[in-house]
Structures are given as C-alpha cells and as structure tokens.
Structure 1
Amino acid sequence: MPIKAIVTDIEGTTSAVSFVFDVLFPYAARHLPDFVRANAERADVAAQLLAVCQDSGEPGADVERVIAILLGWIAEDRKATPLKALQGMVWEQGYQAGQLKGHVYPDAVEALQRWHREGYQLFVYSSGSIQAQRLIFGCSEAGDLSGLFSGYFDTTTGPKREAQSYQRIAQAIGLEAPAILFLSDIVQELDAAQQAGMATCGLVRDGGELAGHVNVASFAQIDLATF
C-alpha cells in the first residue's frame, strides 16, 4: 500500500536530543517556579497543578510543594502530561521573547517541505505537549514550519511504546495503518507502530542499529516509494 501520510517523532529524529536536554529542559527548570507562582490562579495553569497533585498522590499539596514535584519530574525526565503542558506554557514565553529557537535538522526541513509539496499529509507524535511541538516547528531556526503539518499527537493519545496509541492515530488521521509511515529513533516506538500495522523507519543519526526496521542516517535517505 503506498504511503499517504508520515508521522514523525521530534527528539532525536527531526531535532537534536541535545536541544531538548541542554536547552529546553534547563530553561523550563529555571523559569517554571516563578511562572507557576505568578500564574497559579490562571484557569489553565490551575487545572494542570491539580493534575500534578492527583498524579503524585498528594491532593493537598500547596504551590511550593507542587513546584518541587515538577522539578523532580523534570530531573528524571518523567513523561507526565501535566508537566509537559506546563513546560509548554513556559517555553511559549521563551519563544515569544526570542530567547528560544526550535532546532530542526536541515535534512528534516528539506524533506518535510518536499513531502508537503508532493501532497503527503504530515503529523507529529511526541512525548512533548502539542503546544511544545507547535512551538519547536513554529519558531524554528529555519522559520515557521507549522504550516507543513496537518496535526499533532502527544501523550494524551497514549504512551509511545504501545501499539494501541498508533491505532488511535491511524483512526484520527482516517487512513489504514499501512498507508502511514512512522519515523523515530527509538526501537520500542518503532516496534509499537509496526505492531499497529504502520510502515516504520528508524533514524540512526549517530550510528547503531534499530533492529527490525529500515534504518537511515538522515531524512535525505528516506525513499517513500520503498515502503
């Protein structure tokens, strides 16, 4: 079945892992405490703070305790949905202030632009919040790339290492799974997508092998006609 849509991971795939760990996470850790203190009464922020209390099993936690929990989650890179949402809010301020620019590999920019011109539907599936995804591509070093994408998926769709999440994505896109190509640098994610019936391609930018999948070192090596 010919590929009609491409779903891509971000970290390690379209963008350098170092950008997330060395730029975005430290920025959030520095600015999140003051952001939470200043905006704790804002409805969207308050909803996420309540979710932190529920997820951590501390329903009575005050703002300072919630901040401590969030910083702990950042340190351990926990894929917690309320943390991702709050990080996205903090990063939005950074992008708007010009303090942050999203990193996207030039080979990814070129391929995504070409695929979009050729009529393929493009989507993102990342553990970062949809807001954070939009910011990386919308405020990238290569300019505003947000117009290339037809939609975004995050952990609210489900864990990235479970086949059911990819089944939900196929249903949301409205295509049969074999018509969708999933790109990632994590073999467990590729395995889950493959189990759901999607075509898969692993990015091995720093070498190595993602067993059981087509491997490429850059987007320039991806030939959609071979899937």
Structure 2
Amino acid sequence: MVAFKALLLDIEGTITSISFVKDELFPYAFDNVDKYIEEHYDEPALQIVLEDLRQLAREQSQHDASVVRVREPKQNCIDDVAKNVRHWIKRDKKLTPMKALQGLIWEEAYKRGKVEGHLYPDVLPVLKKLHDENLPIYIYSSGSVHAQKLLFGYSIEGDITNILSGYFDTRIGLKGSSESYTAISQKINIAPNEILFLTDVPAEAEAAKTAGLQTFLVSRPGNANLSDENRVDFKVIESLDEILQ
C-alpha cells in the first residue's frame, strides 16, 4: 500500500464520471437557471449570490463582449444573469459565483430526487476502508463546496458525507496552481509529501507534484487520453483499489 496520511480527491473523471457532470448536472443548471432565480429571487442565500454575479459581470464584461452587465429591476436581472451563466457554462468557466448558483440549483434537484450523485463502484469500498483506518479523506474540486456536499449527500450509494473529512473549492485557489495544494496542506496540517492526490487532469497533477504531494493520475472510461509522457511522469491507476496495493 502507498504510504500516505491523507487522501485528496478530485471528483469529475476521478471518482465520478465526466458524463454525469457534463451530461446531467451542467444541462440541468443550464436549463433551469432563470426558473430557479424567478422562484427563489427574494431568498437571502440567492440574493448574496446574485450580488456576486453582478460584480463578476461588471468585471468580465470589460474583456468579454458576450457578458452583459446585470440590470434592474427583477426581470432584467433574471434575464441578464441567466444569459451570463449560460455563456459561462457553455465555456466551462471555473467562476466561483457561477458555481455557487449552480450549487443552489442542484440542491433543489437533488432534494426533489431529479438527480443522484454518481460514484464509480470501486470508490465507496476504498473510502470506507480508509475511513475505518482513521485516514482523513478530503475533496478538492472546481465545483463549489456546497455542490460537492450535495453530490456525496445524495449519491447513488446514499449519504456518504460522514466518511469525508473536508472539502476545498476554488476559494482555496485554482487547481492548476501549486500554491493551492500548499494551502490545502497547511489547512489540514499534514505535510505535502504525506498527502496522496488523485486526479484525471495532468496539469493538476503537475501542480500538486510541484507542491510536494504524492500524485497519481486516474484513467476512467470517457476521460481525455493520457499521453505517453503523462504515463512516464505519473503512476496511472484505473481503480481506487490500486492505492491499497
């Protein structure tokens, strides 16, 4: 078994399928953004996110002609925010306020039973074994912490949040930046070389490696192909079982 004191996991393409995120979650948010804002407009949690989206639109519109500044009153706000969010979803932007709104939309979908979080069959047995051995398991995803908790709280395996020790999103830093992994190491108070990070994205693996983490690449059906160089630079696994061997 690989020697490590904490496991840090990417989500999409690592422990859940890319198709679940791309073909189910993203389209649901894309199709329901204006409907959700209309129905929940006056709720404090949404108003906080809308204010962040107004500020983001002001910034983004300076260098992206497809982004519109958010107008008032209510209906203009809904139309403008929906237009911007759909634009960002199409381009797979990793923008924190947009991710926050997606999280709110997905929360409603999960609670109404319209979606369930996908997990590969090999994931839960390995996580349970590590949890039973008191080894902490952390999640690091570009999706908001809120959205992460929903996926694991309403997964096809049921609520598995009790076996996870913590969550990180882009508020700690971008996943392609080595500083983000240093910050996570400091936050969980475990040395970088004692953390094992699993991801399907070579650029993230390289950033984590630069920060001193042990890093494996994960190859799953539907993931982008890994190059020969990737396979030389990193150990590549096809199932989480392999970290126990």
5 Å-filtered alignment, 1:186-225, equals: 186-206=201-221, 208-209=226-227, 210-211=230-231, 212-223=233-244
* Cα distance in 2, alignment partners of residues 11 and 214 from structure 1: 19
1:63 aligns with 2:78: yes
Deviation at 1:68, TM superposition (A): 0.7
Percent identity among equivalent residues? 37
Partner Cα separation in structure 2 for residue 96 and residue 223 of structure 1:
34
Compare CA radii of gyration and give the structure with the larger one: 2
In the comparison of the two structures, how many residue pairs are matched? Answer: 224
1:131 aligns with 2:132: no
Change (3 A) 1:157 1:2: same
| Structure 1 gaps, min length 5 | none
Give the one of 87, 90, 97 matched to 2:112.
97
Q: Distance in 1 between matches of 2:157 and 2:78?
A: 38
Q: Distance in 1 between matches of 2:220 and 2:102?
A: 27
Match of 2:127 among 103, 112, 125: 112
What TM-score, normalized to structure 1? 0.94
C-alpha contact 2:38 2:78 (8 A) present in aligned 1? yes
Question: TM-score, normalised to structure 2's length?
Answer: 0.87
Measured in 2, the distance between the counterparts of 1:152 and 1:175 equals 15
The change in CA–CA distance for 1:131 and 1:9 in structure 2 (over 3 A counts) is same
8 A contact 1:50–1:59 mirrored in 2 = no
Q: Which amino acid aligns with 1:80?
A: L
Cα RMSD after superposing both structures? 1.6
User: 2:7 and 2:98 mapped to 1: Cα distance?
Assistant: 27
The residue that corresponds to 2:63 in the other structure is none
1:16 aligns with 2:37: no
Q: CA deviation at 1:180?
A: 0.6
Distance 1:178 1:184 in 2: 16
Partner of 2:169: 154
CA contact (8 A) 1:5 1:179 kept: yes
Moved over 6 A (4+): none
> Would you say the 8 A contact 2:57–2:70 is kept in 1?
no
| SS at structure 2 position matched to 1:28 | helix
> Shift of residue 171 of structure 1?
0.7
CA contact (8 A) 1:13 1:185 kept: yes
Q: Is the 8 A contact 2:69 2:80 kept in 1?
A: no
Task: Tell me how far 1:195 sits from its aligned partner.
Answer: 0.7
Q: Could you tell me which residue of structure 2 aligns to residue 85 of structure 1?
A: 100
- Listed as ranges, the matches of 1:32-71 within 5 Å are 32-57=33-58, 60-61=70-71, 62-71=77-86
